[in-house]
Copies of this chain bind each other. A is one copy, B any other.
Amino acid sequence: MSTKPSIPKGTRDFLPDELVKRDHVFNTIASVYGRFGFQKIETPTIENLNTLLGKYGDEGDKLLFRILNSGDFLSKVPQDVIDTKNSSLFSAAIAEKGLRYDLTVPFARFVVQHRNELIFPFRRYQIQPVWRADKPQKGRYREFFQCDADIIGSDSLLNELELIQIMDHVFSALGVPVTIRFNNRKILAGIADIIGAGKQFTALTVIIDKMDKIGITGVIDELKISGFSDEGIETVKAILLIEGDNAEKVDFLAGMIQNTNTGAKGIEEVKQLLKYLESFKAKNKVILDATLARGLNYYTGAIFEVTANDVKMGSLCGGGRYDDLTGIFGWEGVSGVGISFGADRIVDVMEQMQCFDLRNANTTRVLFVNFGGDEEQYALKALMQIRYAGIVAEIYPDPVKMKKQMSYANERKIPFVVIAGSKERENSVFTLKDMVKGTQEEISLEELISKL
């Protein structure tokens, strides 16, 4: 084989340095989820297509990676299907399984399938890759990770509070200052009601959702094109432009939509959440944002979105309350609320903010130079004790020239090198070289361990 090996477009190899960064983000998220009592689950990469199809709209169905049935799959395709030459009919006949498109639908399937084994309210987190046959472009991959947490089987707004606390903890721990915005879809429904556009609720949310991209004039233009009344548009404009702190905003909104059923419920929920938020000193800004809409139709209550303060990059985390996620699998009326962190974007933001220091990462701390023979034996014994002490340590595997071994240490960014030649062995000491400062000293094994 002479062609250069490659991987499918939109997929990535993770080299060690990249993985150290990504895992730092994953581990921080997992550890905060864990501290809040969320339990980790995993679902299979491969799901039956009847679990996945029809859950993401027609566009989503097209983006599913389908797995060819094994064996003599063609023998099971009726001749008339072959004759149509219709790829979509054909694929239904030769592919029964597909790759997970997100973690939400598999989670709904999981909850329904295991409802008798789970303890409700069930708080789960899940950090796994998903696949979409999307057009690859900068920052968009065909294989990428999602980091989801959901609480299912409880209406309490305490869950919303805890999810906001989790977002606050995670970004504080990562050292990324953010703004956490929240809203409530019932408030948006109330707005649609008062402008007499209840039936156009989805259109309204989709347009409002573009506010940060197209600005207020863009929103107004789109509302006009979609046939909203001038009076209605004025009302929406006033709401989108409200200023003040969270309490002032909620009072203003209450004044406008308190008389609609759904709107009043939304105001009540936001007030309760604000009361909860008072009990907790968030390290990041937590802002009620009436322009936040989040496109996904399944959200029915609180919605969240997080953006970085110092780097321009889309949403780093988002989520919301849905009243009927498991209904698609036959279990109606189970309320849940969840969030999802976008790990790739968070890594990108942290790169731009230069948050990563690989010299401090949990990689090799010390390299023993290999002199072969008895010196090698002397080094091996010390190495073993150093590793038992929990220190990440290596010996160069071959007794090659010192220069080559030092250059390996340098390229690997290993901060310390131990030189233990015949002189050191005779005196039962070790020469420790600090690769950053360039200094070196002769010390005992005990001193060596405590130094490292």
- A residues at B contact (CB < 8 Å): 1-8, 11-16, 19-20, 23, 34-37, 39-48, 50-51, 62, 65-68, 70-75, 82, 85-87, 90-91, 94-97, 99, 109-110, 112-114, 117-119, 121, 123-124, 129, 131, 133, 142-143, 151, 154-156, 158-159, 161, 165, 169, 276, 279-280, 328-330, 362-364, 367, 370, 376-377, 380-381, 384, 387, 390-398, 408, 411-412
Contact = CB atoms under 8 A, between A and B. Distances in A.
- Find the residue from A6, A16, A36, A75 having the highest chain B CB count within 10 A: A16
Contacts of A70: 62, 65, 133
Closest 8 CB pairs of A and B: A11-B44, A37-B394, A16-B39, A156-B397, A14-B42, A74-B87, A37-B364, A154-B397
A119 B405 CA distance: 11
B362 A13 contact: no
B91 A68 contact: yes
A79 B78 CA distance: 17
Contacts of A73: 87, 91
Contact of A68 (B13, B14, B66): B66
Q: What does DSSP make chain A's interface, helix, strand, loop or mixed?
A: mixed
A97 to B, nearest CB: 5
Nearest to A96: B8
B35 A390 contact: yes
Contacts of A119: 408, 411-412
Contact of A35 (B118, B330, B392): B392
Given A133-B70, A280-B384, A45 B45 contact: yes
User: Could you say how many copies of this chain the assembly holds?
Assistant: 2
A63 to B, nearest CB: 8
A131 B110 CA distance: 21
A109 B19 contact: no
13 contacts: A2-B330, A8-B44, A16-B40, A16-B124, A34-B363, A36-B393, A37-B392, A45-B45, A65-B68, A67-B99, A154-B397, A158-B395, A280-B381
Nearest to A142: B46
Given A13-B44, A34-B362, A121-B396, 16 more contacts: A4-B330, A5-B329, A7-B44, A7-B46, A11-B45, A11-B46, A35-B391, A35-B393, A121-B398, A121-B408, A151-B397, A158-B395, A158-B397, A169-B387, A279-B381, A280-B380
Contacts of A44: 7-8, 11-13, 143
Contacts of A20: 40
Given A4-B113, A35-B391, A393-B35, A86 B68 contact: no
Contact of A46 (B65, B276, B398, B411): B65
Contacts of A16: 39-41, 124
A233 B438 CA distance: 62
Contacts of A41: 13-16, 19
Nearest to A32: B387
B328 A1 contact: yes
A380 B65 contact: no
B74 A34 contact: no
A124 to B, nearest CB: 7
Given A280-B384, A330-B1, A398 B6 contact: no
Contacts of A99: 45, 67
Contacts of A34: 362-363, 392
Nearest to A387: B35
A76 to B, nearest CB: 10
A8 B362 contact: no
Nearest to A396: B121
